[in-house]
Structure 1
Amino acid sequence: MTTQAQQDMLAKVKNEVGFIAALDQSGGSTPKALKLYGVDESAYTNDEEMFTCVHQMRTRIMTSPAFNGERVLGAILFENTLDRDVNGLSSAAYLWQEKNVVPFLKVDKGLADEVNGAQLMKPMPGLDELLAKANAQNVFGTKMRSVVKLANKEGIDAVVAQQFEVGKQIIAAGLVPIIEPEVDIHSPEKAEAEALLRAAMMAELNALSADQFVMLKLTLPEEANFYLDCINHPQVLKVVALSGGYNRDTANQRLSENNGMIASFSRALTEGVSAQQSDDEFNATLDSAIEGIYQASAS
């Protein structure tokens, strides 16, 4: 990546108001995302056709006049999207050069089985090669997800330790990691889990050196402004919120109560858009969704 592009992206992420569009559903979550968009499983017969269908959906979002860097800071892609083009440019290049939207790449390989009330990430043996590919495509940062289901200190500490260990590998490759230890919104111990998670994250953040920067992607907390210490930490560029299964109105309401936290919504962003809509209807629906999420992020 050219130093100038990296500096420009860094300045945008640090200083501008907006949100991050999560366009990174991969293998397991793609059929559900397509179904919500109005594309039934009968429309494709294998993974390649399925990913082509979802790329058409993402291309329609990215090329919409409603989708640009004025309200959208960044977009998270998954590797299959990174390998495809949008309007004759690679997806990441299109986002930055045409839309002024900072590209991120999902790098995890999914979740391991639950242990101690948490799901770690599966091993990522090809991570160095993937990071090299991301750098070659002018990607700014990465995203990787773990899940916390219970207020189990051992499980939560393991999730956070793994996230930051891999995060440092990503930083060393010249990219900014989005660390995502999601707390399940249906957890019977959500508030207690969030307290343990915050403590574990602050310990890791305090151990970072002055030139190591991360972003955090967190479930909207039970207590408003619960993650302010993380937001204000000098090594944190941004704290972004996942919608986690909340509908868009609920997610926006919760987000607006958390100062300095911005959205990184996936399903809540595309709620209401469909393949059957005319371009005018699609763009109007997407514009309304983007404006609502932008306002909640700006508050």
Structure 2
Amino acid sequence: MKKEQMDRMHTGEGFIAALDQSGGSTPKALLQYGIKESSYSNDEEMFDLVHQMRSRIVTSPAFDSKHILGAILFENTMNRMIHDQFTADYLWEKKGIVPFLKVDEGLAGLDHGVQLMKPISDLNGLLKRAADKNIFGTKMRSVIKEANPEGIRKVVEQQFDIGKQIVAMGLVPIIEPEVDIHSADKAQSEKMLKEEIVKQLAALDPDAKVMLKLSIPTEDDFYRDLMDDSHIVRVVALSGGYDQREANEKLARNHGLIASFSRALSEGLTAQQTDEEFNAMLSHSIESIYKASIT
């Protein structure tokens, strides 16, 4: 299974669906879906509603392996069932879509122009639970707000240090040092970021495999050469706050870069839609993101 999933992630056509909004971002995701905060009174009810939303997306006929290579889950989703199967098993066995797990616990405060990840409590325990649930890889996010050399170096070092721990547990980490799309010196940050990533890739064990999830670069094809590194399974792009149309336009200009969109994927979907309306909207979104990802 692992080899088949690895081959799919490395060479398959399509994109990764990011379905991993967690605690802090869940109310916003539900609001976008047309469910107000007054509709639930505690976290359990909130997570029940978000799982219903994700299940509706995943079980839709539009959500298929022709267009979608992988899906990133939140731990709560990994532990829940879709049609009597754990979510990761449903994704792979019924849909042929590779499951990933978000493992970070949010961002620390701004320091040296960046936000590192907060310490991850019992990461090895989480990785073991992920492996037991047939998860292929992980995802963890940091944010770069300014072109600060020391801050960017710390972000990339932290990402790769934890990435090595994930590789040692037999999983493939998606390393996500996001550059804020509103940053005044975004292009400069991207140059510094790329230099640090190249250094860290050179220091990896020969057999180590990682993925990168990066903001769509200011300069088209800026990350093209990273895709040829022997350690890289795939380079994927986050939508970063761009709406779907703009994200797709920018992505299509970056050859080999594929989407890993969250908000841009679920744009326009609401709880109030009939299944026919919901599936039509999702199908349109998936088709447009897919087209932008196969350039």
Give the TM-score normalised by structure 2. 0.99
1:277 positional shift: 0.5
Larger mean CA deviation between 278-287 and 205-214 belongs to 205-214
CA distance in 2: counterparts of 1:55 and 1:184, whole angstroms? 28
AA matched with 1:38: G
The code of the aligned residue for 1:233 comes to D
Letter in 2 for 1:201: I
C-alpha deviation, 1:125, in angstroms: 2.4
Whole-angstrom distance in 2 between the partners of 1:228 and 1:288:
28
Paired AA for residue 219 in structure 1:
S
> 2:24 is paired with a residue of what secondary structure?
coil
The one-letter code sitting in structure 1 at the alignment partner of 2:33 is Y
> Aligned partners of 1:65, 1:215: CA distance in 2, in Å?
28
Equivalent-residue separation in structure 2 for 1:70 and 1:228 (angstroms): 24
Q: Identify the residue that residue 161 of structure 2 maps to in structure 1.
A: 165
Unaligned runs of 5+ in 2: none
% identity of equivalent residues: 58
2:4 is aligned to 8
1:1-299 matched pairs, under 5 angstroms: 5-299=1-295
Deviation per residue, 1:59-116 (Å, 9 max, x gap): 0000000001111000000100011000110000000000000000000000001110
Instruction: In structure 2, give the amino acid aligned to 1:169.
Output: Q
**Deviations 1:20-62 (CA, angstroms, capped at 9, x unpaired):** 0000000111101100000111110011110110000000000
User: Post-superposition shift, 1:225?
Assistant: 0.3
Secondary structure in structure 2 of the residue aligned to 1:75: strand
Identify unmatched segments of 5+ residues in structure 1.
none
Distance 2:174 2:187 in 1: 22
Deviations 1:125-155 (A, max 9, x none): 2100000001001100000000000000000
Structure 1 segments, 4+ long, off by >2 Å, are none
Query: How far apart, CA to CA, are the structure 2 residues paired with 1:146 and 1:15?
Result: 26
Amino acid at match of 1:139: I
For these two proteins, the number of residue pairs brought into alignment is 295
Name whichever of 145-154 and 201-210 sits farther off: 201-210
Tell me how far apart the structure 2 counterparts of residues 67 and 171 of structure 1 sit (CA, whole Å).
29
Report how far residue 232 of structure 1 moved. 1.5
How far apart, CA to CA, are the structure 1 residues paired with 2:184 and 2:26? 28
Q: CA RMSD in A?
A: 0.5
| TM-score for both structures, normalised by structure 1 | 0.98
**Partner Cα separation in structure 1 for residue 77 and residue 71 of structure 2:** 11
